[in-house]
Amino acid sequence: MESRAETRGAARPGPRREAEGFLFRPLRGNLDPLEAGRRLRARCEGALLLERAAVEGEPGYAVAAARPDRTFTVRGGRMEETDRTGQVLFRGTPQDLFPRVETYLGPRTEGVWGLPFPAVSGYLGYGMSGVFEELFRGTRSLRPAREPDAVLRGYPSLAIRDGGTGRWTLIHRRNPEEAEETGHRELDLLEAVLTSPLPPEESVPRTLGAPRSDASPERFREMVHSGRDLVHDGDLCQVVLSRRLTLETDLSPEGIYGALRDANPSPYLFLLDLGDFRLVGSSPETQLRVRGRRVVSRPLAGTRPRGSTPEEDRHRETELHEDEKERAEHLMLVDLARNDLGRVCETGSVTVPELMETERFSRVMHLVSQVEGRLREDTSPLEALAASFPAGTVSGAPKVRAMERIEELEASPRGPYAGALVFLDPCGDLDSCIALRTLLHRDGVVEVRTGAGVVADSTPEGELAETGHKAEALLRALRAAAGEEVVR
């Protein structure tokens, strides 16, 4: 049975362009979101592109933005807040990140726009796990990744495309101390960039090297053996182990994004230009979504490759639903999501309206459930996100113990992988997806990371194959972007 969660429910109220503190301007023309992102990234710092599929009655939308006026960075046990010029406005600890973001957003503004307005966007890397949870009883930290543990940015001006109408609107959120003319100048600049075409990208062959892994097949099999032993010994119920592939390439981030959109469309498509590196992804899994006081988590676990015919596809779906290992693993992760929401939701409000439905993607299908509850009045959406981080589907259970074992077993730090892409609007609403099927693009290299859940009856070959199935969707997109012939 197909998942229905992406289409049911009530939509937000329609646009209110007269909202106090906001400036609105229609953008004429039928600009493709990818071209909007390309124009912004070519001419501005800090470009963001997000395409979000329709969800629960709300239309899908696209967001294109650049020139953030605030950046919040967590690295090396410190948090730093800077303005557009790079001037440091605040230095503190990682625990200061969310309070400073909430201060930047200011008081909640109710009902200003019929679509989400992600005024703060960015990522939380897997390393934030050590901030939100005490690991190793405080005696050691996670290995530092090359990338910051978190980068969140404030965007005062955004271009938003309504997926229902195809129309773009430019929106500027005014600073209370800002003159209205300043906001109009910001919109003038955004409009000028988006309406000025770039020369078409040269149609030349691109290079794509062979993938190299941080964990050879032999080493990954040993990791699975070790994880399975920990489960047999009663130390864990499940642990999710991953490995990284690295490929040399001269592909552009936009080329990769376009290939992902064509070959592996997902609920979340994104491109974040973070200066030293770019994140390009097609994530299938919501980390946490908050609308008003309603909180939703959608654990996705249990995988089969797609069939080559409709009959084979249905056979594999039946096989997936009848696999006791996959069912037990999925139910355990649903329970973990219920526990995470139970920490921040009103007593008795957590329910599971969908259980083990099928969600199909280009190369694989998954089991997915929906867990939801009502957020306590004394808890913010960002606090709810922290309570659910990282998702059990990328760590294991019990969660803290699984994270400690991941740190001991995996060959390299995860960096952004298995963290979350975060989109927060001034209404206090939050949307986030797990950083899965996400490529890190830097200095002529792309990195791809995939994982598999290890339980008592896992086999090293089976879990190695699962990481391969998940990586193949991304590798096929890279090959297509490089101009190689890809058999569908």
Q: 414, 437, 449, 476: which is the annotated catalytic residue? A: 437
pLDDT confidence of residue 3: 42
The pair of structure tokens assigned to 360 is: 């199909």
Q: What are the beta bridge partners of residue 240?
A: 453
Q: For 86, how many CA atoms within 13 A lie in the half-sphere containing its CB?
A: 2
Check if 292 is active-site. no
For residue 91, give the 3-state DSSP assignment. Answer: strand
Annotated catalytic residue within 100, 330, 366, 441: 366
What is the pLDDT, as a whole number, of residue 112?
56
Residue 366 is a catalytic residue: yes
Q: Which domains does the chain have, with CATH numbers?
A: 22-481 (3.60.120.10)
Residue of 109, 169, 358, 393 marked catalytic: 393
CA distance 55 to 7: 5
310: left (phi over 0), alpha (psi -120 to 50) or beta: alpha
Is the CA virtual torsion 395, 401, 405, 408 positive or negative?
positive
Task: Annotate 430-485 with DSSP letters as a single string.
Answer: EEEEE--SEEEEETTEEEEEEEEEE-TT--HHHHHHHHHHHHHHHHHHHHHHTT--
- The answer to whether 429 and 291 have CB atoms below 8 angstroms apart is yes
Please check whether residue 248 is in contact with residue 467, taking contact to mean a CB–CB distance below 8 angstroms. no
Cβ neighbours around 93 below 10 Å, total: 11
pLDDT at 13: 40
Tokens at 452, concatenated: 């598999």
Cβ-Cβ contacts under 8 Å for 339 (sequence gap 6 or more): none
Q: What is the mean pLDDT of each run of 10 residues along the chain (488 residues)?
A: 37 48 91 97 97 83 97 97 97 98 88 77 98 90 95 98 93 87 95 94 82 97 98 96 97 96 90 98 95 94 89 94 90 94 97 94 86 97 97 94 97 98 93 97 97 94 94 93 71
Round to whole Å and give the CA distance between 328 and 264.
Answer: 27
Report the pLDDT value the prediction gives residue 302, as an integer from 0 to 100: 84
pTM: 0.92
Of the candidates 162, 161, 159, which has an alpha carbon nearest to the alpha carbon of residue 59? 162
Cβ neighbours of residue 257 closer than 8 Å, sequence gap 6 or more: 34, 37, 49, 269, 271, 280
The active-site residue out of 417, 438, 450, 476 is: 417
378 alpha carbon, distance to own chain's centre: 26
H or E stretch at 230: helix 217-232
Catalytic annotation, pick one of 130, 302, 415, 453 = 453
Pull the structure tokens for residue 87.
């001037």
Q: What pLDDT was estimated at residue 364?
A: 80
pLDDT score at 6? 40
Residue among 30, 78, 39, 68 nearest 153 (CA):
68
Q: Is 216 helix (H, G, I), strand (E, B) or coil?
A: coil
CA distances from 485 to 251, 320, 476 (A): 16, 30, 9
Selection from 255, 282, 261, 279 nearest residue 47 by Cα: 279
Quick check: is 453 catalytic? yes
